[in-house]
Structure formats: C-alpha cells, structure tokens
Amino acid sequence: MSRRVESVSRDERINDVLCRVISEIRATNRLGRITVVTPTLQASYYLRRSLARTGLFNVDFRRLEDVAELLAGNSVEGARLTDLEASEFVYSISTESSHGTALGGDRYSPQLQTALHSTFRDLENLTQHQLDSLGSAGSFQAELVSRFDEYRNRTKQFSSGRRVAAEAVEILLRQGGDDISRRLLGRVVLIEVAPVAPELTTLFDALAELVDTVNVSVVNENSGSTQSHEQVAMFAVNTVPNEVKEITRQIVGLARDGVRFPRIAVLFEDEAYADRISESLMQSGIPVSGPDRSALRATPVGRFVIGLLNVFANDFDRNEVTSWFSSSPVIDPVSGHPIPGARWDAISRAAGVTRSVGDSWRPRLERYARSIVSRAKSAERLGERGESEIESAESESSYTLQLLNFISSLHSQRNKAESASWTTHVGWIRSLMSRYLDVENVGETRPFERMMNVLDRLENLDSTGLKNPGFDHFVDVLRDQLNRKSAGLRSLGQGVYVGPTWTAAGCPFDYVFVTGMVEGKFPSLHRSDPLLPDHLKRLIDPDEKVLPTRVRISTDSQQVFESIKASARELRLLWPQTLPGESREFGPARWFLNEVRRVAGNPSLKASELTTSNLRHLSIVTSDHADPEQSANAAEYDQSRIVEWIRSGAVKQELTSDVRSTIVDDAVKYTEARDGEDWTEFDGKISVKDTPSLSGSATAFETYAACPYRYFLSRRLRVEETKSPEDEISLDALEFGTLIHQVLEDFFEWRNKEDVLPPTDKQETWLQNAVAREIEALKEEVPGRSDGAWTVDQSRAWLILRQWVRREKNVANLGEMNQVFAEFGFGYGDEPPVEVVTDQGRKVRFRGQVDRVDQSQDGSKVTIYDYKSGGSSSYTGLDKDPVKNGTKIQLPLYSRAVRRAFPDAEIQAAYWFFRESGSNELKPRPEAYDETKADQALTKAIDVVAGGIEKGVFPANPGKSGWVGGRSSFGSCGFCEFQRVCPQDKQDQWNRKKNSSDVLNDYLALVEPDEDEVDD
Ligand code: SF4
C-alpha cells in the first residue's frame, strides 16, 4: 500500500475515517504495529476510546513529541531543560548590562523577563543565518540576538524537545526512515487536525514522507462543508451566567435522553469559562473531565503560602494576617489545633493592632491582655456589665496571650538570609509549612502534591549553576509558580470534557458546546510581540514557517475550529450578548455569524438582524428562569417553581408541599412571617425556658424600653459590632464619657480638700492638667490611635470642661449648695442595691453610681446630678413623663439610693449636659423634679420591662422617625449598632404587628401610651 491522504467529510467523521483506515491496514497486516500520531493527549485518548469496541490490538496512539522521544530520546545527552530553569537563565541574562542597556541591566523588570523568554522560544526555531539577519536589523535587535546567543550558550548542556525532534529527523534520514519507523512505529497514521508546532514541523513532514504513511486530514470549510445543517444549533443568550445555565440545562437534558457524559464537550477561548462551567456542572452533580486550569493560589495550600508571604512582605499588617487566618488552614504549633482565626481577628481589632510586631502587635496585645480584665471590673462597678463579663474578659485575655505568642513566634522565623541557595530559601518555606500548615484540613491531596513539586523544582535550580537568588527574587519566582495555571489534566473520560478550544482538536465528541462566541473575544486576540513585531517576522521568515504572525495564528485557530466542527456529531454554538463588567452589548463572533449565514443560506445576513429574523437554527435565550422540568439542578428547580408560583399567585401551601425543600420552605416561612400581620418567632417572640435573673443596670432596662430587640441582641445574645482599628480616628462616646466622668470625680476630690472654693482660673488649670493625665493613661489602655487623634480628643475634653467649670457656679447654685459626693455608689461592697418591687410583685435589684450629689447649707435640700457628655434632645419632656417611656430611669433610681442617705431632705434631680447651655444644660429643671411621680413611673416601667424579659417579648421598635445625631433616623435606631442587620422596613413591621398580640400590650402601653394617660 502506498502513502495516502484520507479526508474527514460531512458523512464520515474523524473516528469513522480512522476506523476505516485501521481496518484496511489490518486487511493486509493483521497483527503488525500501527502508530496513530495525534496532536494532543486528549485526541489520543478520545480517538482510542471511540475505536475501542472495534478492537485495537497493537495500535498505539502517540503525540508527535512522544514519537520524537521514542525515536531519539536516548541519543540526546543532557537533562531536559524545564520551563522554570529556562526562565531563570533568562532572568540572569536580563539582569546583565554587558549586552546593552535597552533590554535589561538597570531596565530589568519581571515583565521584561517574561517578554524575553517568550521571544527566545521563537528565536530557538531560527537558523543561524536568520539570527544574523535579525541582529543586523538595528541596535535593539543586535542586543536581543546577543542576549539570546548568551542564553543558548548557557543552556547548551541541556536537552530540549526541539533537539530531540531534530535528532529524530536525523535518525530517520540517516538510518533509513522506513526501516527504523517500521521497526519502532509500524504503520504510521498521522492525524492532521491542528497546526504543528514549529519545532516539530520537520519531524511531521519526515513521517508524512514515509512509505505507507496515511494522513487523516480535516477538509477545510471552503472546500466542502463538514457539518450538515441539522447538526448545528446556535443560541443567542442575554448574559454569560444565563449562557452557563443554558449549557448545564441542555447537558442535563442530553443525559436524560441517555447520552453519556464523556461524549459531551464544552469548549472556550476565554479562561474565565473554565471555572464557571465546571462549577455549574458540578453543582448539578455532573462530573467534569479535561485540563486542570486551576492555579495553586486558589487552593488551601496555595493560599497558605501566599498569605504567609504577604504577612512577611507587609510587616505583619493586621489585615494581611487576618486574611491569612481566614483563608487558609493554619494551625497553632503550641496547641496543635487550628487557630481560632475569627476570635483572633476580633481581639486584634479591639486591641487596636495595625502593623509591625515590635511597634504594634506586641505592645498593644500586651496592654489589651492587661487592661481587658481591669476594664471589665470597672464596667461592672459602673453597672454596665455583669459578673460573667469578668470571666469572659479573663478568657479574652488568655486568647490574647495565645495570639501574642503565635505572632511573636512567627515573627522570629522571618527569613533573614538575603542571598542564599534555592534549597535554603525553600527549606524556610518547608519549615513554616511543617510548623503552621494544618495538613489535616488542606482538602484534596493533589494541590498539596503540586506544591511539593513546585518546591522540588525550585530546589533543583541549585543544580543549574546559576548564582544564589536574593530573597526577593525567590519570593517573586515562588509567587509566579503559584499563580500559574496547572498544565496537568484533571481526568479524561470520566465526565463532560471542559477545556480550551485548541485542546479538543481531533477529539470525536458527540455533542460539542462552544461558548463565549463574542466579537473580538473569539478566537482570542494575540498581541504582537513587542520585541519581535510582525513586520520583522515576515522579513526573516517570509513563509512564516517558524515565526507565525498574528494573521497566521488566526488562520491556525480557524483550522482548529474546523477540526472541532468536523469531529463533532452535533455542534451547539453560544453567543452571550453581554459580558460581565461591560455595560454595552456585544455582537457575535465572526465564525458564529458565518455559521448562522451558512445554515440560513443567506451570506449577506447582518449581525444586527440575528435576534430579529426568527431563524430556525438560532434560539434566543433571555430568561434566567427555565421551565422547571428543564432545570439544571435542584436549586434551579426550586427557583423556577417559586417564580412560577409568584407569577401565578398560587397559595403558599401549594408551593411548600410541591417544592419540598427545607431551605426554600424556611426562606418562605421567614419572609412570610416577617411580612405578615402577626408577631412571630421571627419578630422577637422568644420562647424563654428559665426566668432570667433580673438584677441589672439602669442602662440595660433603658435599652429594653427603647427597643427590646436591641436589648435581646446586645444583652442576651451578646452580639457586638466589629470595629476596625484602622478606621477609628476618635474615642467612641462611651470612652469619651468615661474620661470626662473620671476627671470630674478626681476634680471633686481635689476641690473638696480645699478650705475655700478655688478661683475659677485655678480650677481650669487643674482640669486641663487632669485631662492631659487621663489622655496619657488612656493611650496605654486604648491603643491604635494616632497622636493627632489623641490631641483632638484632649482638646475636645478640655474645651467642654472649661465651659462647664465657668458655668458651674450658676448652674449648680454654688454657695447655697455644695457638692458632697462624686460617684455615690449603691449595690457595691457594703452599700445595698436599690430594690424595686413592682405592683405585680416583681423584684429587681439595681446597682450603679450617682455622678454628683449637692446639699444645701442647711441640709434641707439635696440635688442629684447625672452628667451627660452627649446631646440633650432625647431628654426633652421629662417634666411630663419623668422616665420618658422607660428610656430614662436613672434619676428615680438614684433618688431611691440617695434618699437612704438623706431621709429628711427634699430631693431634686437633673441630667447635666456639659455640651449644652441655657435651658438645655439641665433636664429636667431640678426644682421641677417630682420625686413621688418619678418613683411611680419608675415602678411601672420596671414592671413592664422585667415582665417582657421574663416572657421573651423582644420586638424591634425603631421609635418615631426624626433627626438623630444630625441624621435622619428612627428615635431608637440613631446610635444602634445593629442598624445594618435590621430590616429596612422595620417601622412598617412594628406598625403592622404591635397590636397583633396581647403579650405586647404592656410594652405598647409603656412606649406609646394614650396622651390622656400621660397627662394623668
Ligand atoms: S436598628 Fe432600630 S429597630 Fe433595629 S435593633 Fe436597633 S434600635 Fe431596634
């Protein structure tokens, strides 16, 4: 039999042609070896698989480079130069200045190194004559060729695929090609479905020239269509997500019709489709095969190493550290357990850590660990926290010290060797991995093995004889390796094939989906090589045999596309009309348009007419909600049913019984409950098993009265807002208020020791110094703020206190009245708490501290003050309602405590607002304070609040809308830390539900009483 060319045609697909060719060979040679030479591993695998049933005894499927290895592998000396080693040689040459200054030396950059490496790959295919021509084109090209010569010289001891292929050709020519090929390969069948790489072209041609070689080739579209009209379907889809869903649905449909997954392929040019398609298929339980396009950086072990490098590179920036904690499996080597990342994040925030171990982590964590317990004790003394808070603070302190040890230990292991061998640098990473990587939780083992291979390859760089790398270069190379997409295969034949278009050339899939067929994106655009532009390529290699220009690359892509069309039984092309992140619509790719024109028999059809012409083979897909029966997975099925249900207005019962999904059921239940008229478990109706202890602070009860839901979140669930030290520029209201209170307490003690009232200027000076002292002390306790921020707080506090002391004499009527107490405590030490017994028999004990008590000269009158550093607007109306619907109960509680010390005196009381003046400075006016009325209101409010807490009544009550803190808000919500988690329509919900249950009546009567009742 003589050598011949067999063409793939419309009626005979590639596997059919190959099957016929093999049968014909077998007719004359029943047992002789046959070698089918394919472009890729994929083509080898899927062709073999499609022919397996016909019997393939002694038929080998090999890639062209494998044939070269078979023919000449042992004849070429030297280890194979890996891409990483080649890259390092390029690096060493690009940093040198001896070849010139345009392409390296001081101009070195990683981008330049990458560009040089890419161009060197092309230059390796040139003859010496061509290189000389290039070198004489100009000084820039002379430097390029000089650097390349040096590269060739330094890598000549290595073997390469190019040298092996050249040697294979030599062997074929020298030893009589037919003999040796017959001995090693038998009959050769060449599958020509994709352009051959330049370094293998000569070998391909030599094999094609052998006697008896059969060349199986794809017929070009222009010389005869390979696809009947019935075998092509096209889809215009409005968005990429819908495109992916559509593909998944169709694959599910094919599977329902009995098509096996390995017979289906989804191909793309844009790499972003790799994950989109794979995730969508896997979500639907469909296995995926094909190239593994993942980068190590996307795996847990990759994130671990990159996160670690980022931590060291950014001087332990807190955000980098917490990002590392949260994104990768980190273990605490001391405990041997996974680190409590979320808790350590919260601690480092609270401690005010920013960056630098010496300047920030160590001092601030140490201070935080010290101060947190003492602050909790002090807060407990002020009635702001309970005893359990001290235990919790001690636990927090212990966690803080663990974190400090962890960070200090990690910091001590930073790489100190600036220049060292690759093995030393890699050893550093390995030791950190063995110490801190939670191997048990890295997930699948393959990424871990890939990581170990990367490290092995880096260590092997020591054997190249290149000089030791600096630490920064080592990190750059390691990062680059982790960012590279895997060149490996996930698997073949176990699921739907998902891969780039070029990888499927010659694969006989039954159903092929081609995605992303958008103008300018399909096929991928190739940029011109800036170091070797197209016009120079044409000058040196006019036939473009080894230096393909962009035009040639585009032609090659078309050949691949034609091969795929020819190999598929049915083709489905998809054109997404919009792309993620782009606001405009995109037209179809040229090849998509050509296919539509061909099928429609209308070569002048315009792209703009596609969606309006009602073409038989073009479907317009616009909705992301499919017919439920065609859903891609259970989630989509549920979603589709919900959409149907909403559109049809069907009752909920029908949906829940039909959909049968717990998640959907729960979601519907929640939404309907929140949107409904009834007060439910989703609106703060809590089932309480045990009656909670009702000793507490005034502020806790006030919080409940304002919004029970806020009380529930903060006091019961102990949910706290997350603050970031990087964002804070001034002390928060609580810290600032505490500062003012502390200064005034000390001020009283100082002033009380004086025989006569000191002059105002002396008092001002004392206050100014006291503020400075307190700020210095606070710096120790509240780390994380800049000096500028402290200066602002200091000035603010001092200005407020100066104003206050200048007015104090008149406001407090000093002279007739004298201050007798600062911080009058009750419920601490020997001082009994204030016990309120309500009409319903509920007993609640309170403890707290009165800020100031003044007494008249004759002892007949006592005035109680509670200092406030905030605004006074929410205290308006105390004359009318002394407890403001239960939200202001401090004065009557304090009155009860002070009354014990002054049983016969007339009691007055007021909140004293430092920042205000005139009639707003004291509220209510002390002489207008009615102790009896306030006490009755207190008892009533305590009864409602205590009863609500006992019964689990925690509705969200936003209060009336208005201006709070200079912003439009609801009365209860202005300073609430839970605004972001509370629903937007909270006021509507409250208005809908507040009258829906008798259990809410008492609370409603407290916070929204009838006007008549208030006046009474
Ligand atoms: S945001 Fe308003 S309604 Fe929501 S918990 Fe806070 S105070 Fe209550």
Beta strand residue intervals within 117-275, DSSP E: 187-192, 214-218, 232-237, 264-268
What's the sign of the alpha-carbon dihedral 344, 350, 356, 360?
Answer: negative
Find out whether the beta carbon of 972 lies less than 6 Å from any atom of ligand 1: yes
Atom of ligand 1 nearest to the CA of 957: 3
CB–CB of 852/867 below 8 Å? Answer: yes
Is 686 strand, coil or helix? Answer: coil
Phi, psi angles (nearest 5°) of residue 907: -100, 130
Nearest CA to ligand 1 atom 5: 710
Mean per-residue pLDDT for 72-101?
A: 92
Task: Find where tokens 């998902």 sit.
Answer: 498
Distance 876 CA to ligand 1 centre (A): 21
Find out whether the beta carbon of 910 lies less than 6 Å from any atom of ligand 1: no
Find out whether the beta carbon of 709 lies less than 6 Å from any atom of ligand 1: yes
Structure tokens that stand for 77 in this block: 């000396």
Mean per-residue pLDDT for 563-585?
A: 89
pLDDT in tens, 913-930: 988 877 788 999 999 999
Mean per-residue pLDDT for 785-791?
A: 77
CA distance 373 to 359: 23
Q: What mean pLDDT, rounded, does the chain reach?
A: 88
CA distance 994 to 957: 9
Residue 891 has pLDDT above 70, yes or no: yes
Find out whether the beta carbon of 861 lies less than 6 Å from any atom of ligand 1: no
Find out whether the beta carbon of 712 lies less than 6 Å from any atom of ligand 1: no
CA distance 129 to 137: 13
CA distance 942 to 954: 15
Find out whether the beta carbon of 560 lies less than 6 Å from any atom of ligand 1: no
Q: pLDDT at position 756, please?
A: 83
Nearest CA to ligand 1 atom 7: 973
CA distance 21 to 581: 50
What's the sign of the alpha-carbon dihedral 786, 790, 795, 800?
Answer: positive
Beta strand residue intervals within 105-237, DSSP E: 187-192, 214-218, 232-237
Find out whether the beta carbon of 978 lies less than 6 Å from any atom of ligand 1: yes
CB–CB of 743/793 below 8 Å? Answer: no
High-pLDDT (> 70) share of the chain, % = 90
Please name the residue ranges forming H helices in 626-722. 634-648, 652-659, 662-675, 698-706, 708-711
Residue 625 has pLDDT above 70, yes or no: no
Mean per-residue pLDDT for 645-661?
A: 55
Q: pLDDT at position 565, please?
A: 87
Q: pLDDT at position 160, please?
A: 92
Name the amino acid, one letter, at 965.
G
pLDDT in tens, 126-171: 999 999 999 999 999 999 999 999 999 999 999 999 999 999 999 8
**Lowest-confidence region among 154-168, 265-279, 370-384, 799-813:** 370-384
Distance 955 CA to ligand 1 centre (A): 9
pLDDT in tens, 384-407: 555 566 777 788 889 999 999 999
Find out whether the beta carbon of 371 lies less than 6 Å from any atom of ligand 1: no
CA distance 607 to 602: 12
Find out whether the beta carbon of 784 lies less than 6 Å from any atom of ligand 1: no
Residue 762 has pLDDT above 90, yes or no: yes
CB–CB of 406/870 below 8 Å? Answer: no
Q: pLDDT at position 965, please?
A: 62
What's the sign of the alpha-carbon dihedral 919, 922, 927, 930?
Answer: positive
pLDDT in tens, 948-973: 999 999 999 999 887 766 666 788 89
Distance 341 CA to ligand 1 centre (A): 29
CB-based burial label for 718 (10 Å; 0-12, 13-18, 19+): exposed
**Lowest-confidence region among 142-151, 630-639, 722-731:** 722-731
First to last CA, the chain: 117
Read off the pLDDT band of 651 (50, 70, 90): very low
Nearest CA to ligand 1 atom 3: 958
CA distance 781 to 378: 13
Q: pLDDT at position 189, please?
A: 95
Q: pLDDT at position 636, please?
A: 73
Beta strand residue intervals within 952-998, DSSP E: 961-964, 967-970
Mean per-residue pLDDT for 495-520?
A: 95
Read off the pLDDT band of 220 (50, 70, 90): low
Atom of ligand 1 nearest to the CA of 979: 1
Read off the pLDDT band of 829 (50, 70, 90): confident
H or E stretch covering 110: helix 110-123
Residue 841 has pLDDT above 50, yes or no: yes
Mean per-residue pLDDT for 654-683?
A: 74
Find out whether the beta carbon of 969 lies less than 6 Å from any atom of ligand 1: no
CB–CB of 892/934 below 8 Å? Answer: yes
CA distance 298 to 283: 18
High-pLDDT (> 90) share of the chain, % = 58
Mean per-residue pLDDT for 636-649?
A: 67
pTM of the model: 0.67
Beta strand residue intervals within 507-558, DSSP E: 511-514
CA distance 474 to 463: 16
From 682, 702, 709, 957, the mutation candidate for ligand 1 (largest count of ligand atoms within 8 A of CB) is: 709
pLDDT in tens, 447-489: 999 999 999 999 999 999 999 999 999 999 999 999 988 777 7
